[in-house]
Amino acid sequence: MNKPPELRLVFTITALVDESLLLERRSTESLDYIPITGGPVRGAVEGEIIPGGGDWCLNRADDSYEVEARYLIRTHDDAVIDVVNVGVLRHLPGESGGSEDMGYFLTTPRFRTAAPQYQWLTRSVFVGRAATNPSATTIDVFEVQS
């Protein structure tokens, strides 16, 4: 029972993004909205992100970020998958620089769909390892194995 669960890489999401929009600023924290404009999904799920989603990104006073992204994937076989992905982005000890230089960017994506062939997405726990740059966020999605 003490053995940690294993992870299985199932697909990669590359969310193309537009310039962020400042929504709120309070003292030493700010909330930005980052439009998601599309991007490929490759692996056990194949498709494209439907433009129109977004990422609400809270820049915290401790120089870390809380992210909450919502978007839709249209698969190659015309199914639609709803994605809600929350996570944390921060520097690892000894790191410095902007968000592109932060070595800790982990997420917990959740999926909903009516498509029978993708119901497995609704019955497992997933974690994502992400990386960001000014034009895209890439997330390797891993299924947690028991």
Q: Which domains are seen in the chain, by residue range?
A: 6-145 (2.40.160.20)
Verdict on whether the full-model pTM lies above 0.85: yes
Tens of pLDDT, residues 65-118: 999 999 999 999 999 999 999 999 998 888 787 777 778 899 999 999 999 999
Closest by Cα among 38, 123, 105 to 72: 38
Q: How far apart are CA 138 and CA 7, in angstroms?
A: 18
The pLDDT of residue 14 is 98
Instruction: For residue 104, give the amino acid letter.
Output: Y
The whole-chain average pLDDT of the chain stands at: 94
Closest by Cα among 61, 75, 65, 79 to 107: 65
More confident residue, 111 or 1: 111
Q: What percent of the chain has pLDDT over 70?
A: 100
